[in-house]
Amino acid sequence: MYQEERLILIMNDLEKNRRISIEQICDQFDVSRDTARRDLVKLEERNAIVRTRGGAILPTKHQEVLDYTHRLETVSDEKKKIGERAASLVRGGDTLILDASTTVQACASALTPAPLHIMTNSIHQAEILSTKPDIDIQLLGGLLQKEHGFLYGTSVIERLRKFHVKKAFIGVVGLSEHGLTIAHEEDGMVKRTMMEQAEQVIVLADHTKFGVTELFQFAGLKDVDLIITDETPSKHMQKVLQDHQVELLVT
């Protein structure tokens, strides 16, 4: 097989699975590790991939950085199930923080009316919660990221640090041994502070987020208490979570 044919097949695999390892290239195409590395170097030179230790991922533009309105229209059944399971953990009288992710939005939608105090930096979460009786909503003021509908900046972070809540529900773009990652640094800084102010940190992540490392790391796995997902992750990832004492709940 010519290199160009192999490069096309490698990119097809990446579009499906978001990442590929040197070992996978060797196994799939019966080539040496040196050949696999040369293939990845060639793709990197074309700005088609980002090389990682042991393999490659698609660059950020291929990752989940669509605008929030489009993502709301495409909330999957998996995210809805994760959101419903997360909402089932909430009890009347709880104080909560909800971030601006669409999976956490599914949790907000699934909450049943009950005496709750909820803080959020998402104008979309606030709008959803405003339709539910007995829920007090505190929208954290700051600079508005118009494309994704979240508030960020020093004022949001300083305001958050004055509060202590029972649970924080956090979404991610990437979840791997490298921790929790996201595309936007300003959103990540707010998420990090949200986690610091909560007794229990609950991460909501569908199966496509596992093994992905995005641009900005905002927390480590040691900072997470519970992950709710829709599919059991790989044995390797299960071992990583166990090593960090992270509880896993599969819907």
| pTM (predicted TM-score) | 0.73
Residue-wise pLDDT for 93-134, tens only, equals 999 999 999 899 999 999 999 999 999 999 999 999 999 999
Q: Report whether 151 contacts 144 (CB < 8 A).
A: yes
In this structure, the number of other CB atoms found within 10 A of the CB of residue 183 comes to: 17
CA distances from 183 to 18, 29, 59 (A): 15, 32, 11
Q: Report whether 213 contacts 180 (CB < 8 A).
A: no
Q: What is the pLDDT of residue 61?
A: 47
Q: Where are the alpha helices (DSSP H) in the chain?
A: 3-17, 22-29, 33-45, 68-73, 77-87, 102-110, 123-129, 154-160, 185-196, 235-243
Q: Is the pLDDT of residue 70 over 60?
A: no
CA-CA distance, 187 to 120, in Å (whole number)? 12
Residue-wise pLDDT for 132-166, tens only, equals 999 999 999 899 988 788 999 999 999 999 999 99
Give me the domains of the chain, ranges plus CATH numbers: 3-59 (1.10.10.10), 68-250 (3.40.50.1360)
CA-CA distance, 223 to 168, in Å (whole number)? 12
Q: Report whether 48 contacts 166 (CB < 8 A).
A: no
Q: What is the pLDDT of residue 53?
A: 82
Phi and psi dihedrals of 245, rounded to 5?
60, 40
Exposed (0-12), middle (13-18) or buried (19+): which is 154, by Cβ within 10 Å?
exposed
Q: Report whether 194 contacts 97 (CB < 8 A).
A: yes
